[in-house]
């Protein structure tokens, strides 16, 4: 009986010890694994947070986005003429239906370093700075090819154009004057982007026969390479409103001048601004 009690007691002791040992092993194993699990969870949470912050940075905030600018609608004056709303643009289209704003004077007027048929200063020597630099390049290119161009008339103020137009009407009548002379406010010369050119062979006059000279030939074929177009083409008077002027250069920039030249178009045709019938 005594030995049975001893055996039972030892069995219980071993059982309890076994339980404690298993529990200790489990606890030890748990202590070893826990940091890795926590580290993995922490790493995932950190990655999730970083991705969330990155998405916030990449996603534009709507309230900070600039509102789309609406192009201002061009208005008409009491005579039904459209008043251009971007007179400073080098691609502005001014004609008998489209006029410059009242009192407009182009900025950055300068005198290009090219030969004129007169020496003294006159406002008509001036052009917008960008156009003036392009004209200097054009004249230099012509010179390299043995072509001697001479500048005649660039910028004209509203008042100057008014005087010229009134004089032409007095001498030739309004109907004829309207074929070659612009009413004040509708002249390209007022934009500062136009220059009439001539040559000594023409005695510095502006005539259609200029096209038959070497200077006129070279200009017709190469002006576009410098950002200019012959503004009033032959056979296009029903679109431009003016008769053929092979001497009238208009600066529009190299990005469109070659296209207009190759397509043999006017500015009205290129921009879809056909005169209303």
Per-residue pLDDT tens over the stretch 145-180: 999 999 999 999 999 999 999 999 999 999 999 889
Q: What pLDDT is stored for residue 71 in this prediction?
A: 60
Side-chain-side CA neighbours of residue 150 (13 Å) = 15
pLDDT band at 26 (very low <50, low <70, confident <90, very high): very low
DSSP tag of 255: H
pLDDT above 90: residue 108: yes
Q: Which residue has the higher pLDDT, 148 or 48?
A: 148
Residue 74 pLDDT: 86
The predicted pLDDT at position 72 comes to 72
Average pLDDT value for residue range 27-56:
44
- How far apart, in whole angstroms, are the C-alpha atoms of residue 77 and residue 101? 10
CB 177 within 8 A of CB 167: no
Measured CA to CA, the distance from residue 226 to residue 233 in angstroms comes to 18
Distance CA 218, CA 195 (A): 16
| Tokens 């509102």 -> residue | 67
Q: How many CB atoms lie within 10 A of CB 191?
A: 25
When comparing pLDDT for 22 and 132, which is higher? Answer: 132
Contact 211/217 with Cβ under 8 angstroms? yes
Name, in order, each residue with C-beta under 8 angstroms of 224's C-beta and a sequence gap of 6 or more.
Answer: 257, 258, 260, 261, 262
Contact 28, 20 (CB under 8 A): no
pLDDT at site 37 = 37
Nearest Cα to 264, choosing from 241, 237, 239, 230? 230
Residue 78 pLDDT: 83
Dihedral sign, CA of 86, 241, 153, 132?
A: positive
Q: What is the pTM of this model?
A: 0.73
pLDDT at position 14 is 37
Q: Is 58 an active-site residue?
A: no
Position 68 scores a pLDDT of 40
Using pLDDT thresholds of 50, 70 and 90, give the confidence band for residue 182: very high
Cβ neighbours, 10 Å, residue 270: 16
pLDDT at 49 over 80: no
Q: Is the pLDDT of residue 10 over 80?
A: no
Spatial CA neighbour of 147 closest among 202, 189, 194: 202
Q: Tell me the pLDDT tens digit for each residue of 51-67.
A: 545 544 444 443 343 34
Q: Does 100 or 24 have the greater pLDDT score?
A: 100
- C-alpha dihedral sign at 31, 36, 40, 43: positive
Pick from 182, 168, 181: which is nearest to 99 by CA? 182
According to DSSP H, which parts of the chain are helical? 2-58, 129-144, 158-172, 174-177, 214-222, 237-240, 254-262, 267-271
pLDDT in tens, 220-245: 999 999 999 999 999 999 999 999 99
- Out of 50, 57, 225, 245, pick the active-site residue: 245
The pLDDT, as a whole number, for residue 9 is 43
Residues 244-268 pLDDT 10s: 999 999 999 999 999 999 999 999 9
pLDDT at 191 over 90: yes
Closest CA to 235 of 212, 258, 208: 208
Give the pLDDT of residue 20. 41
Mean pLDDT over the full length of the chain: 82
In order of 101, 182, 221, 223, the CA distances from 246 in angstroms are: 28, 17, 11, 11
């Amino acid at each position: 009986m005594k030995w049975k009690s001893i055996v039972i007691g030892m069995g219980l002791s071993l059982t309890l010890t076994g339980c404690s040992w298993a529990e200790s092993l489990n606890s030890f194993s748990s202590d070893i694994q826990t940091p890795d699990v926590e580290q993995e969870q922490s790493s995932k949470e950190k990655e999730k947070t970083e991705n969330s912050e990155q998405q916030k940075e990449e996603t534009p905030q709507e309230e900070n986005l600039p509102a789309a600018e609406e192009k201002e609608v061009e208005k008409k004056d009491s005579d039904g003429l459209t008043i251009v709303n971007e007179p400073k643009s080098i691609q502005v289209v001014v004609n008998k239906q489209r006029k410059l704003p009242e009192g407009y004077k182009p900025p950055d007027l300068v005198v290009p370093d090219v030969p004129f048929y007169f020496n003294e200063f006159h406002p008509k020597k001036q052009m917008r700075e960008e156009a003036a630099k392009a004209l200097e390049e054009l004249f230099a290119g012509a010179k390299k090819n043995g072509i001697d161009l001479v500048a005649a008339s660039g910028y004209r103020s509203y008042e100057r154009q008014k005087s010229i137009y009134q004089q032409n009407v007095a001498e030739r009548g309004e109907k004829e004057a309207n074929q070659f002379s612009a009413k004040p406010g509708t002249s390209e010369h007022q934009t500062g982007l136009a220059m009439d050119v001539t040559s000594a062979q023409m005695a510095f006059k502006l005539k259609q026969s200029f096209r038959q000279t070497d200077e006129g030939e070279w200009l017709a074929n190469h002006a576009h390479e410098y950002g200019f177009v012959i503004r009033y083409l032959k056979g296009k008077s029903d679109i431009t409103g003016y008769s053929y002027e092979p001497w009238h250069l208009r600066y529009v920039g190299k990005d469109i001048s070659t296209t207009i030249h190759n397509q043999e178009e006017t500015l009205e045709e290129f921009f879809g601004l056909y005169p209303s019938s």
